[in-house]
Amino acid sequence: MNNNYDSRTADKFVVRLPDGLRAEIEGAADYLDRSMNSVFVQAVRQYLDNQKRQELLLDALAKAAVKNGRAAMKERPILFNGPMVRAILEGRKTVTRRALKMPHGLWETSESGELVPIPANCPYGQPGDRLWVRESFWGCDLPGHGDQPCVVYDDEWHGKEYKPAEARPWARKFGRIPSIHMPRDASRALLEVTAVRIERLHDIDGDQAQAEGIGDHEFGCDRPTEPDGYPACNCGSLSYVDSFQRLWESINGVDSWAANPWVWVVEFKRVMP
């Protein structure tokens, strides 16, 4: 068996390097007193080894979760504002984006060389988990229920002329109740997570913006809004993505879109009622 290595017969392919990378490889080769080829090959091998180790780590974490019983379906609350709740109930909203909180523990290097977060430990669950929707509501008195405050949702509230679809004696008190205080038994929408990923906020396209529950050019003008949060006109001046930008900034702050943060993208389907 001939163990002699002949570079003239070794497998070869052309690599197109971005500006400046050749100089970096050449500098590393000079410093290590090695050829540029060996430095490049070693870097590729280290990258592939790291990817393999990351796959093994994620596999081990998944197996540990199954072993400890943590892989069973979990149920969590999630907050939505009024227009988004209506979009869910009407079947127009099937995805939500939430800013990734830093620091995020697991990262990897993408093919472009960018350091990107690994979609692990999502606070909104994994596919198969469920999310029950929290929304603001009212605790109101209804005939026949005495002093028991009954749940009246925002889209049923019209001042003193509220007309709930049914009597729901689940409220803990009378008056306006913020979404964060909605009890589980008052929730009217249960969602099942179907997919989870991480991406930059600006990666959203028109189809995804529409799946976020954006109607035709909603949030698309600067005119005053109605009490329910919708624009007072339907001027049609913005695309779905631009309209989603307005919605994102109205929830997360004026500069939140320009920051282009990493976001959790949680896709879901409605399973109840």
The overall average pLDDT reported for the chain is 83
The 10s digit of each residue's pLDDT in 237-252 is 578 999 999 999 999 9
Give the pLDDT mean for 18-24: 85
Q: What is the spatial distance between Cα 212 and Cα 163, in angstroms, rounded to a whole number?
A: 29
pLDDT-wise least confident of 57-61, 89-93, 136-140, 204-208: 57-61
Out of 3.40.50.720, 3.10.400.10, 3.40.190.10, 3.40.50.1000, which CATH number does the structure's domain 75-134+187-272 have?
A: 3.10.400.10
**Tell me: the pLDDT tens digits for 118-169?**
888 899 999 999 999 999 999 998 877 878 889 999 998 887 778 888 888 8
pLDDT, one tens digit per residue, over 198-237 is 999 999 999 999 999 987 545 545 444 444 444 444 555 5
Sequence spans of domains, the chain: 21-67, 75-134+187-272, 137-180
Which pLDDT belongs to residue 224? 43
Threshold 0.85, pTM exceeds? no
Query: What pLDDT shows up at residue 84?
Result: 95
- Among 18-22, 193-197, 235-239, name the one with the lowest average pLDDT: 235-239
pLDDT computed for residue 236 by the predictor: 53
More confident residue, 54 or 256: 256
- Mean pLDDT over residues 246-261, rounded? 94
One-letter-per-residue 3-state SS of the chain? CCCCCCCCCCCCCCCCCCCCHHHHHHHHHHHHCCCHHHHHHHHHHHHHHHHHHHHHHHHHHHHHHHHCCCCCCCEEEEECCHHHHHHHHCCCECEEEEECCCCCCCEEECCCCCEEECCCCCCCCCCCCEEEEECCEEEECCCCCCCCCEEEEHHHCECECCCCCCCCCCCCCCEEECHHHCCHHHCCCEEEEEEEEEEEHHHCCHHHHHHECCCCCCCCCCCCECCCCCECCCCCCCCHHHHHHHHHHHHHCCCCCCCCCEEEEEEEEEEEC
Give per-residue pLDDT as tens, 165-182. Answer: 888 888 888 999 999 999
Query: What is the sign of the dihedral through the CA atoms of 177, 180, 181 and 182?
Result: positive
For the segment 102-114, the average pLDDT, to the nearest whole number, is: 79
